[in-house]
Amino acid sequence: MAEPLQIMVLPTTVDDGPPQVLFDDGGIWRDSAPVSIPETQTNLRLRVETFLSGVMRQVDKAPPTPSLAHSVAFRSQFADLYRKLLPPEVRDVLKAAAAQPGPARPNLNVYFRAGAEWIPWELLHDGNDYLGVQFAIARLPIVAQATEIRPPRANKVRKVYSLLAQHVLDPAQTAAWESTFSGFSPAPDWENRFPFNGTGNFPTLTQLDEARDADILHVTCHGGLKDPGQSDFFWTLDHKNPQFFDYRITPSIAKDAKLAARPLVFGNACASINAQGVDLISLQGFGASFMVGGALNFVGTLAPITKTMAIAFARRFYFNLFTSAAPGGTPIAEALRVTKATFAREKNADPSYLFYCLYGPPDSTFKPEAV
């Protein structure tokens, strides 16, 4: 495996200008001159957020046009952002790395400070393809608090918690969700699922708290939400319940999760066009927050996704993560890239497979424990 390509993104040194982008040049961090752009970083972010939210509202209502992700209208948005955010030197480094054949192509590690999390690295288009399809990308936040990402990073999966929010899936989709982890481990009581086989209660924050000893915490819920006029964003396990404090997952709750087993947290945040009294937003992540709360890795979405894709992508991702012939398992960043690449090869009409992103070490592995 080639040495990873490493990029660092720091807050702008110019008022609302482009971010400062550095890259590792043989062990030395090299600065690069910021791109001169005719609009502010705030406007760029708003434009991308509005575009993604609009696309997902339409995709969630009706079947998308064939292969929307490969349409000129979709990819041009992120080709433009690629040119406006990344200095020519950085684009040259990425181009050279992308030209390498698959096994020789390096991982792409992106270090960033708070305020730069919104940049949709996985969606940036270099004129050939999306970076998230070409590279195994890992987002590595620069945080003040201690996290639990130190080695070892080979993880035995002994316990899975899978939480499904109420009013998200229809009965057929729920049946598909129930099979997300089927067949991966013969161990009894390997998966703790809420609700269980169509019976039992839907989860609240109590079940999130009970998952402290999980090796994988999988949450399927409404996401990309905030109250009108407010800056705080959240997921919800029941967007219709007036007792919202029992159901809302916020960054503060994620930071205080106290996850003891250094798990993988997978957040399937679905679009909710029917949510009342909230705004649908995008480009908000829980990755850094869950890492502070004890997660080794976090897989989530940089914008709300469709329910159909949420189920299909998760099942395929876990297959790629769990069933590798390699003794140590498939590194998580590569499992995520391979999953995206399969949807891309199929020219899937739903573009939200591109929205998944990884936080934390790219070389972590997760293998079901043999009984």
Q: Where are the alpha helices (DSSP H) in the chain?
A: 41-61, 72-85, 88-98, 131-134, 171-178, 205-210, 251-255, 287-292, 307-322, 332-345
Three-class secondary structure of residue 284 per DSSP: coil
Question: Is the Cβ–Cβ distance between 272 and 307 less than 8 Å?
Answer: no
| Nearest by Cα to 207 from 157, 156, 257, 241 | 257
Asked if the model's pLDDT at residue 157 lies above 60, the reply is yes
Asked if the model's pLDDT at residue 78 lies above 60, the reply is yes
**Average pLDDT, stretch 196-207?**
83
% of the chain residues with pLDDT over 70: 89
**Average pLDDT, stretch 102-124?**
90
Asked if the model's pLDDT at residue 330 lies above 80, the reply is yes
What DSSP character marks residue 68?
A: G
Q: What is the pLDDT of residues 13-23, one digit of tens each?
A: 677 888 889 99
Highest average pLDDT, of 35-49, 229-243, 261-275, 327-341, comes from 327-341
**Average pLDDT, stretch 316-323?**
95
Paired residues of 22 in beta bridges: 8, 31
Domain assignments of the chain as residue spans, ordered by start: 5-141, 154-368
**Average pLDDT, stretch 127-134?**
95
Give the pLDDT score at 273. Answer: 47
Asked if the model's pLDDT at residue 60 lies above 70, the reply is no
Paired residues of 297 in beta bridges: 264
Structure tokens at 151: 């080695």
Model confidence at 243, pLDDT cuts 50, 70, 90, reads confident
> What's the pTM?
0.93
Give the pLDDT score at 260. Answer: 93
Give the chain's mean pLDDT: 87
Structure tokens at 115: 């305020």
Question: Is the Cβ–Cβ distance between 52 and 39 less than 8 Å?
Answer: no
Highest average pLDDT, of 135-149, 189-203, 239-253, 336-350, comes from 336-350
Q: Which CATH number fits domain 154-368: 3.10.450, 3.40.50, 3.30.360, 3.90.1070?
A: 3.40.50
Structure tokens at 296: 């080794």
**Average pLDDT, stretch 204-227?**
90
